[in-house]
Structure 1
Amino acid sequence: MNQVLDWLNNNSDLIVHYGINLTLAVVIFFVGNKVAKFCAKITEKAFAKKKVDKAVGTFVSSIIYSLVFAAATLMALSQVGIETTSFIAILGAAGLAIGLALQGSLSNFASGVLIIILRPFKSGDYIEAAGHSGSVEKIEIFATELRTPDNKVIIIPNSSIMSGAITNYSREVTRRIDLVVGVGYDADLKQAKQVLQSVLNKNPKILKDPSYNVAVFELADSSVNFVVRPWVNTTDYWDVYFDLMENIKIALDDANINIPYPQMDVHVQK
């Protein structure tokens, strides 16, 4: 015990020196983290004020946070006596090995940069990519976040998005609804066509230009199939779709035109 006390007395100045440096390093680290978050938030607000796409602001703010946090970490290490120049050299050598091991993450980062540059979609667009669909919430360094209509969050790696087909349902102002309506072979086709046209004419959200199309599409096994193809504003797509499905059935029933179910004639021979 006496030896410990003697050592503490003999090295008190050194202990105080390193204690102060360690405390400062911890303070620098935590303050640097706060500053990094603050800079990222300020950047995102600045992009929003300039009315730049939210996804771009999120992506750039993520990069700024990483850079400021890395700088703060190096300052904290320097404060405790670690040579940052040699440390950076070691990091560079280790970075090459880590880069080879983390090719997927680097690929996600590169794909995120391509998404920002090529802009196949923007924040708020409803897209389908990598087998998932939803509204784009934000684009980050390594992944893109989607939100589904039933409020589920899907996080997709950026490389998975850029390596496959991307369907953007929100880019164009208008969309076409494609319906196939079957009527019985005993139905009056002209009357059936008029009924379908009257349903479309009554819906105020269906666009006049381009005009809709109603035509016989197929003489199927159990029915004569019509295609019903009206154009609507993209924002009205699902409202009109559901409305047409209901009103077409009601209108055909009122006109005594049956919608046949699949059936098969079986001939039994003795």
Structure 2
Amino acid sequence: MQEAKLSLERYIEKLWATTSDWVEDFAGFLPSLIVAIIILTAFIFLAKYIAKLTLRILLKRDLQQSVRNIISRIIKFIVITIGIFIALSVLHLDKFLTTLLATAGVGSLAIGLALQGTLNNTFSGIVLSFIPEVQLRDWIETNGYSGEVLEVNLRNIVIKEADNNFVVIPNSKIAEGTFKNYSRTKRTRIMLNCGVGYESNLDFVEELTLTTIRNNFKTRRGEYIDFAYTEFGDSAINYVVRFWVNAVNKSDELMAKHQAIKAIRKAYNEHDINIPFPIRTLDFDKNKFRAETIQVEHKNN
């Protein structure tokens, strides 16, 4: 009985000693823990503030709501992550922090390899959201398609072509490829090709064409109307006339050409200037004579 009592007392003493050590360790650890909690709390509030500030800045840009939200969340996540790392370093959990970073690195590598295409489109979407060369309602031409930009999200760009059909293009194909934006400049140079008959007075045709274009399309300072004959065609002497118009999409260019063709045709009709049809002459009698001649020469040989 006495031995059991002694064993119990020893156990209690050992337990008390262990508890005392824990209390002392916790008392020494408590200031660092409080500082770490304060730091982490401060970074959480800081992350919320920076996320709201980011949204306000992005609202000034013509971006999709989904893109603005994901960017603000990414920034919030980065700020909180920095706060966690600082709090762990204050608690002297260096080994745990190193292990966490190593695990995160391996995990990120595995996830990155598995989602390589998706992540590429995501980062490309973020890049396209910030560059001024692609904005909503711009008319762009890329990857064989041409249309108005309706949406820029983290996976793709949605454009509406002139035939009212929608085309979805992955962001990476645009960010890594080439595209043409018709809406970045208000003024566009139109190139119109035509031809006149060989009997025409070329100097008069040139002057009449320039006058017609000048009367229908206003030219600003530094802009010029160019006219040049390009070739002796099969049925006409061909030329190109280049002039400036207000155009931010393909429809504006199409209507400018439409107006120019009507005006030039009307002016040519008033001055009896001929725009020839393509002509092909087939002289069957001559061909027959040449065939018979060749046949006779072959017999003589």
**TM-score, structure 1 length as denominator?**
0.65
The answer to whether 1:55 aligns with 2:33 is no
Q: Aligned to 2:194, what secondary structure does the other structure show?
A: strand
Which of 218, 240, 259 is the aligned partner of 1:243?
A: 259
Instruction: Provide the identity percentage.
Output: 32
Residue 94 of structure 1, CA deviation: 6.6
What are the equivalent positions in structure 2 for 1:75-224 lying under 5 Å apart? 96-207=109-220, 209-224=222-237
CA distance in 1, matches of 2:73, 2:103: 23
CA distance in 2, matches of 1:205, 1:62: 46
Q: Which runs of 5+ in 1 are unaligned?
A: 1-39, 69-88
CA distance in 2, matches of 1:237, 1:207: 18
Q: What residue number does 1:253 align with? A: 269
Note closer, same or farther for the CA distance 1:227–1:95 as it changes in structure 2 (3 Å cut): same
CA distance in 1, matches of 2:142, 2:133: 11
What code does the residue aligned with 1:170 have? S
Note closer, same or farther for the CA distance 1:114–1:46 as it changes in structure 2 (3 Å cut): closer
Number of residues of Structure 1 aligned to a counterpart in Structure 2: 213
What code does the residue aligned with 1:243 have? Q
Whether the 8 Å contact between 1:43 and 1:57 is mirrored in structure 2 is no
Q: Aligned to 2:63, what secondary structure does the other structure show?
A: helix
Residue 100 of structure 1, CA deviation: 2.1
Q: What residue number does 1:264 align with? A: 280
What code does the residue aligned with 1:230 have? F
What code does the residue aligned with 2:259 have? D
Q: Aligned to 2:223, what secondary structure does the other structure show?
A: coil
Whether the 8 Å contact between 2:217 and 2:245 is mirrored in structure 1 is no
Residue 157 of structure 1, CA deviation: 0.5
CA distance in 1, matches of 2:137, 2:231: 38
What code does the residue aligned with 2:241 have? V
Note closer, same or farther for the CA distance 1:45–1:246 as it changes in structure 2 (3 Å cut): farther
CA distance in 2, matches of 1:170, 1:187: 39
CA distance in 2, matches of 1:133, 1:58: 24
Q: Which runs of 5+ in 2 are unaligned?
A: 1-50, 77-101, 290-301
Residue 135 of structure 1, CA deviation: 1.5
Q: What residue number does 1:20 align with? A: none
What code does the residue aligned with 1:144 have? I
Which protein has the larger Cα radius of gyration, Structure 1 or Structure 2?
Answer: 2
**What's the RMSD between the two structures over aligned residues?**
3.5
What are the equivalent positions in structure 2 for 1:24-35 lying under 5 Å apart? none
Residue 165 of structure 1, CA deviation: 1.2
Residue 55 of structure 1, CA deviation: 2.6
Whether the 8 Å contact between 1:63 and 1:141 is mirrored in structure 2 is no
From the two aligned structures, give the one with the greater helix fraction: 2
CA distance in 2, matches of 1:109, 1:147: 21
CA distance in 2, matches of 1:260, 1:44: 62
What code does the residue aligned with 1:55 have? L
Q: Which moved more, 1:101-110 or 1:232-241?
A: 232-241
Residue 98 of structure 1, CA deviation: 4.5
The answer to whether 1:232 aligns with 2:240 is no
Whether the 8 Å contact between 2:58 and 2:68 is mirrored in structure 1 is no
Q: Aligned to 1:177, what secondary structure does the other structure show?
A: strand
Whether the 8 Å contact between 2:55 and 2:72 is mirrored in structure 1 is no
